[in-house]
A and B are shown apart, each in its own frame.
Chain A
Amino acid sequence: MSGSRKLLLVLLLPCSVMLSGCQPVQAWERGVLAKPEMAIDANPLETQLNNHIYFSKEASNGGHSATGGGCGCN
């Protein structure tokens, strides 16, 4: 199996998890998701420094965009 085929399969995995596991969460039920510790990036300055150090000392690069989650407020 080619590398990209494998990658595709791994990409499928989280989506299928989402499809099967998702429950509708109403707008007023997002208090927990809005907690600061539930953010993808709970402490941006800490993440920035960590990425900075790991980027300098390791060969890998590339991470999350920290959007998503939050309170669903308008």
Chain B
Amino acid sequence: MKSRQLLALTASALALPGIAPAARADTPPTENTLSYRISRYAEDDLPGQYLVAGSAERYDINIHQFQLVTPVGEEYGLTLTSSYESMSGASPWFTVPAFGDEKTVVMSGATIHEQRRDFNVALRRYLDNGNYAFNIGASDENDYEAWSGGFDMARNFNNDLTTIAGGVSFSSDDLSPTDASLFNRVTDESKRTSSAFMSVSQVIDRNSLFQSSLNVTYHSGFLTDPYKLGDSRPGSRTQIAWSNAYRRYLAGPDAALHVDLRLYDDDFGINSVTLDLSWYQNLGDNWQVAPRLRYYSQSAADFFTPVNDVSGLLAFNSSDYRLAAYGAISGGIQVQTTIDDVTLSFVAERYLSDKGYSLYDGDTSPALVDFTRLSLGIGYRF
């Protein structure tokens, strides 16, 4: 049996590419860059005391990413991005009460295997005082297909010390869940996503800059998880995210500090806070080590219940752990070295989520996820 959880680890809706970035804001690429990365994402097994039935083995995913950035004529830069994922594992199917306050999870039965491919093309034109880009993308797996497109533009003011950018993007997703008749699932559903952002970037001094952006995303259509038992969600969702980035270079240690803070609100009733800190330490001319720390916490959705509602009285209901109240702490390190035109990189990350880390009260889920991720990358300029 295949799980919707798996699909969720796809860029389908995420890859709203209007928000896909330009490598550098103000000049077209002057050379080609070809990059490849391989990553392994592995979720910890569900602890035995929470497992009632099914497989304790959660997802393992291998991800290949390719990117080519190339100049086109003198004013344009073309970015081609593609990725391929192969996944295996099981996911939470539904949650049932156990003794006392305990809840236990029924996992999907067997390990499944699934692939996903996506590609995205972005063409950006660079002008004297700004740039604009169009992009189009697609994502494909056996039960999920998504098309997306976007437009964004940026304009520099104030002797290029201030940049104002904005963009819109759209995505159309079609779902055709597997084993639909066997599990009484929907057979063919779709959803639409539109998103708009606006941002202001300001150079503060020679060594620091700040960016603030506001992002509004509207989803409509089938937002329910077809692979979860008894899952039923509203037919629309509006999300607002306010993101802030601060970058500061410190000449003494030859390092750059990155601080990112995001505040989020949606009409499912979820609020969240994300704080991301990185320290890019240069070591000599050719090495860079960047430790990173991230904190995330969200409140529960209004219709989240820790165990599935079987009464049928609730209009909307879900026990999806991603709609629960929890907090997550992750730490990682990136090591990068440059040898002539070749850049090699390695990234390791460990992610732990727990109700105990949460800033918010509210119901949580026994199915929160912990994972480890490793990436190896190579980039070649020519």
User: Do chains A and B stick together as partners?
Assistant: yes
Q: Which chain B positions have C-beta within 8 A of A40?
A: 21, 201, 209, 211, 245, 247
Interface residues of B in 237-279 (CB under 8 A from A): 239-245, 247, 249, 251, 255-256, 258, 260, 262-266, 268, 270, 272, 274, 278
- Which 10 residue pairs across A and B have the least CB separation, nearest first? A68-B201, A62-B241, A66-B21, A62-B215, A37-B280, A72-B160, A56-B9, A37-B256, A55-B14, A68-B163
Assembled-state Cα–Cα distance A57/B202 (Å): 32
Q: Which chain B positions have C-beta within 8 A of A47?
A: 21
Q: Which A residues are closer than 8 A to B by beta carbons?
A: 3, 7, 10-11, 14-15, 17-18, 21-25, 27, 29-30, 32-33, 35, 37-49, 51-74
Q: Which chain A positions have C-beta within 8 A of B345?
A: 43, 46
- A37-B249, A59-B268, A65-B166 known; 5 new pairs, CB 8 Å cut-off, are A33-B209, A47-B21, A60-B239, A67-B131, A70-B27
Q: Which chain A positions have C-beta within 8 A of B146?
A: none
Is the C-beta of B298 less than 8 angstroms from some C-beta in chain A? yes
In the complex the two chains form, is A54's CB within 8 Å of B242's CB? no
Assembled-state Cα–Cα distance A73/B214 (Å): 26
In the complex the two chains form, is A42's CB within 8 Å of B207's CB? no
Assembled-state Cα–Cα distance A46/B349 (Å): 11
Assembled-state Cα–Cα distance A53/B173 (Å): 19
Q: Which chain A positions have C-beta within 8 A of B25?
A: 67-70
In the complex the two chains form, is A64's CB within 8 Å of B243's CB? yes
Q: What are 23 A-to-B residue pairs whose CB atoms are below 8 Å?
A: A15-B200, A21-B205, A23-B204, A25-B203, A32-B251, A33-B206, A38-B247, A38-B256, A40-B201, A40-B211, A49-B37, A52-B9, A56-B9, A60-B264, A60-B298, A61-B14, A61-B239, A63-B243, A67-B163, A67-B165, A70-B24, A70-B27, A72-B26
